[in-house]
Amino acid sequence: MMSRAKFRRRSRNNDYHQDMESKGRFGGRSFVIVAGTAIVSLVTLIAVASIISSDPSLHESPLPTSAVTATACALLLQSLALLLKPRAPIASLLIIAALPISLAFIEPNGLFTVTVVPVVVTVFLVAAHGSVLHTGRQVLLAVPLVAIGQFINSFRTGHPDVTAAIFEAFAQAIVVVAMAFLPAAVLASQRATLLAQNAEVRALTRERDAQIGEAVALERTAMARELHDIAAHHLSGISLMAAAIARQVESDPAAARDGALHVRRQSKLILQDLRRLVGLLRIGEDDGQIKTLSTIRELVGSVRAAGSSVNLDIRFAPNRPLGHGVGPLGHLAAYRMVQETLTNALKHAPGAHCQVLIDDRDTTTVEVSVSNSPAESAAKADSVNSGLGILGMRERAILIGGSFDTGPTPEGGWSSTMILPREDDSKGNNPYGNKPDTKREDGR
């Protein structure tokens, strides 16, 4: 089975070759590379020939014109072989490295070293597009070919020591290949690092989107439960009254008429309750803000603006952001718990004073509680709690590894408490990046 690293390397190389193929085998970029290599090689050849001709000590006899012509032809053929690189980079490299061997047999001369210029260009181009290990093994194939050409040229031009000629040939081949491979490897490594960073950013973006989608799905489930909590009682009563009306239409029309009016009143009540719940659930959501422990302050402010008496007490830990170490779902669960508990208090305990407490001082957990005093006026007779809202809050707490308790207080009110566990914060990470906040809402 192919390893992941090998698969990634092969994928990068395939992407490169496919990209080159999409541009055409003989695209404009290939012709520019071929022309540039040919021009640089020929200019180098002319410069070396001029130096050798002007300094007899560099050559025992005058440099023949045939040597210059043969070397120039070899350079042109090497440059033309670069046209094969987009489709067959290794074959192109081997052809360019092997062509000088024919020159060494046909016309050995002192200009032979210039034939390494196309080899340097090809090694650089091959190594710059691929992983270092993969291209490193490929360009090593060019070393013996370059060394063989250098050795044959040295031997046929009269090198006295065969062993020294072999050593010099391989040393020159290694230097030529390494001179082109090393900078190309650096560029390839930088490109691979950039690709890996981009892939990581895309993965983190997908993970964040998945978390947001999960949170949205959970909130939709919570809203459905709350809507059921409000509607279940009313719809059950309406169903019973409709059945009674059906029996009384003929036997007792007056009672049937009263029953129909009662059904109408119940329908209005359920519509009012549904509008109120949806309105409360939408508090603070129009701006697209992520719900955290810090945004509970805005939630309480919105409830106060609606005319309710609510006090917020946040007990901070020194030098630590509010809710540090609590995961995104924990922040969201606490926010929804406060939101739903305040909704229930407004519905079932009209006029009661509410107290919201966020205790962030413990190092392992965060306590969020909402309590209300006894109602100042009686709740509506049809305001019955089916318990599904409490079930939803308890399920949210269990989902994040916390706990949820609720029940009456000795004073006759009601209290709900959620305990949020902190995640491993050994790295000092804060999922929301909040700055330490020590502002108290109750002025104490």
**Residues 136-150 pLDDT 10s:** 777 888 888 888 888
All structural domains of the chain, each given as residue ranges with its CATH number in brackets, are 4-202 (no CATH), 289-444 (3.30.565.10)
On the question of pLDDT at 6 being above 50, the answer is no
pTM: 0.42
State what percent of residues in the chain have pLDDT above 90. 10
**Residues 30-82 pLDDT 10s:** 788 888 888 988 888 888 888 877 766 655 556 678 888 888 898 899 888 88
pLDDT for the residue 62: 62
Lowest-confidence pick of 121-135, 260-274, 411-425: 260-274
Greater confidence (427 vs 210) lies with 210
On the question of pLDDT at 26 being above 50, the answer is no
pLDDT for the residue 360: 93
Greater confidence (174 vs 220) lies with 174
Quick count: other Cβ atoms within 10 Å of Cβ 71?
25
pLDDT for the residue 23: 42
**Residues 265-299 pLDDT 10s:** 777 767 666 665 555 555 444 455 667 898 999 99
Nearest to 397 by CA among 338, 351, 334: 334
